[in-house]
Chains A and B, each alone.
Chain A
Amino acid sequence: MRYVDEYRSGKIALDLSQRIESVLEPGRKYKLMEVCGGHTHTIYKHGIENLLPPAVDLIHGPGCPVCVIPMGRIDDAIAIAERPNVIFTTFGDMMRVPGGNGSLLEAKARGADVRMVYSPLDALRIARENPERETVFFAIGFETTTPSTALTLLRARSEGIRNFFVFANHVTIIPAIRAILGSPDLRLDGFIGPGHVSTVIGTVPYRFIAESYGKPLVVAGFEPLDVLQAAYMVLLQLAEGRCEVENQYTRVVREAGNPRALEAIAETMELRTTFEWRGLGFISQSALALRVEFADWDAERRYDVPGVRVADPKACQCGEVLKGVIKPWECKVFGTACTPERPIGTCMVSSEGACAAYYNYGRFTRRLETVAT
């Protein structure tokens, strides 16, 4: 693939992993968090973890939009989807996430008209093609996917489409990082910053991480060499005693982000006072709702959304796993009540969650380590 293969060179990877080794302080352990689920995916897909020295631990952060949706919101989504005249549209991987009352896939099996789409514009097209029915788009994701929802709303308004509704669940990354940084038991040394989010918000919003919390952050792209190079850049900062926000993904990310995307978001959405995150609990000003000017397209205003609150089970310790405080196997329900087939908590839901990965691959990883030592 043109423009892609050059970011997947095994030879350069080997060179980078040797350079990483050379900047480590002997005997010190390093914990780096990749905030974004897309990075976690790259790390697994290309086997990056075993290209890193054993002293470097990668902690999978809260940036998987599927993982952070609380169970109650899934139940709300199902309640909307099960209304008789509704076509409920959603991204594919949301269909399997369990709420307190099963998943959208199960709702579909019970008869709800749930359809997978690749973009909110597909949902708008479905609305256009089915004027006698109401099409709802389950809008989720960080700043990466928010602009496309915003632009779709603007188009719905300009085309006068009145049978299209957005169930807004967009979340913002900065409050989530702040919540993690504010934890008294934080064990992280630095961050690999989310590349796609940063194309929208730029790099400036991360400065407080370096300035107030003394942790370096490097914004990274999604090819395996991007992630490996970003890890090197964070570790180099630590070795040189620097603490800055750096941009590895300069081919895409600008310091000021994408003003047009930010404008579209600001025109259509506003911050909610508070929003619940799976595993992290309620975080103030961490999610977006439609502005009152878009009330006619707002699923929450249109339907009587139950607003179910389903607390994560008390024994579930996703929050601590996300912060790197405990290992997945130290969680009380890990592997017993909580498994990939029947997940309870955030980290077991997505196949890239820390717990699911450890559940599936743990025995293999541990065996490798035992052989190596």
Chain B
Amino acid sequence: MTGREQEVLEAIERRRRRRPRLKDEVVTLAHGAGGKATRTLIEALFLEEFGNPRLAPLADAALFDVAGARFAFTTDSYVVKPLFFPGGDIGELAVNGTVNDLAVAGARPLFLTAGFIVEEGFPTADLRRVAASVGRAARAAGVEVVAGDTKVVERGKGDGVYINTSGIGVLEHEHDLSPASVRPGDKVLVSGTLGDHGIAVMVARGSLELEVDLDSDTAPLTELVHGLLSATPGVRCLRDLTRGGLATALNEIADAANVSIVIDEAALPIRPEVNGACEILGIDPLYVANEGKLVAIVAPEALAAAYSALGSSPLGIDTEIVGEVRADAEGMVFLDTAFGGRRVVDVLVGDPLPRIC
């Protein structure tokens, strides 16, 4: 490598390490897509204005102690289109999504709040259907909705209904599940097939004229996580695979832990329907969302216990060991392709927009 090339690469590396600056004049959909643009918005705007040590790690939930007990606290908003899709609806999603953010923080979710923003003209029958779904999902997840809020906005100012849920849970295990505890040699497991939710919703939008028999995988992960954490002390880090999919979750872990992660394409559990739809749409299933799956990083000696704990739960029957943590190339995620090659799995710049060719 020449001196000049070395200099250029080092300059890029320094730039990558720098805190991002927000240069965009307006917010675009890319800022909400979970990739680099979202990260920039959060770090350069929100963290800048109200950052504090508990928020700074940008974890799924904030952890804190009150009167000797340890709690996890989180919030999330749901703006999915369409509101009803195969395998679920916005109400169920709003409960499970927040429950799962608490679960992967190692907490048992206890209480939720639910804020509804409803568009003028929205049928009350549909609102009842959504509310019933919230109630049903909360009972199934073992949480209570203890506070709420309702706002109605003018026709045309919303997409029917948006829901925000906040949740609080109690930490029952001693595990340190922050990415900083991840070590080279650790193994990567996923609890089931990738991309089911994202593809089910895309197909349900109806504009694609694809016929795919696929349900969203939305489900509460509390029991799955509880089983895993009870089975072994060797669980290092957990993430639920929502927006941005497995690729984004692993990039965040690799970056925070200063390690690299190598995953094996042949081991990835992906339904043929999801693979086929992704092929047609020009989308990479690694970036497609789930709403009832997690990735677990576990110590090598904990692998057998973790694998069997996840696999013995109904939500984890398709658990696979998909990769390994390495020491070199800090912050990078690689994929060993089934074809025999290797490629970088990067953070998306914006939305995973379909390619034209």
Contacts and interface: CB of A to CB of B under 8 A. Distances in A.
Interface of A: 1, 4, 8-10, 13-14, 17, 36-38, 41, 44-51, 64-66, 91-96, 102-103, 105-106, 108-110, 116, 118, 122, 140-142, 144-145, 196, 224-225, 327, 329-330, 334-336, 339-342, 351, 359-364, 366-367, 369-370
Contacts of A342: 23
A364 B9 contact: no
Contact of B337 (A46, A96, A140): A46
Given A46-B341, A47-B335, A366-B5, A94 B12 contact: no
A204 B238 CA distance: 56
Contact of A340 (B275, B335, B338, B349): B349
B356 A364 contact: no
A363 B357 contact: no
Given A340-B349, A351-B349, A13 B275 contact: no
A311 to B, nearest CB: 22
B347 to A, nearest CB: 9
Interface in B286-314: none
Contacts of A91: 354, 356
Interface residues of B, number: 48
A1 B356 contact: no
B357 A51 contact: no
B36 A341 contact: yes
Nearest to B281: A118
B46 interface: no
Interface stretch (B27-35, B189-197, B242-250): B27-35
Interface in B201-238: 207-208
Interface of B is mostly: loop
Nearest to A37: B357
Interface centre among A8, A108, A140, A341 (most CB of B within 10 A): A341
Contacts of A140: 356
Contacts of A362: 9, 12
Nearest to A4: B279
B9 A363 contact: yes
A224 B339 contact: yes
Nearest to B275: A1
A362 to B, nearest CB: 6
Contacts of B30: 96, 105
Given A334-B8, A362-B12, A92 B356 contact: yes
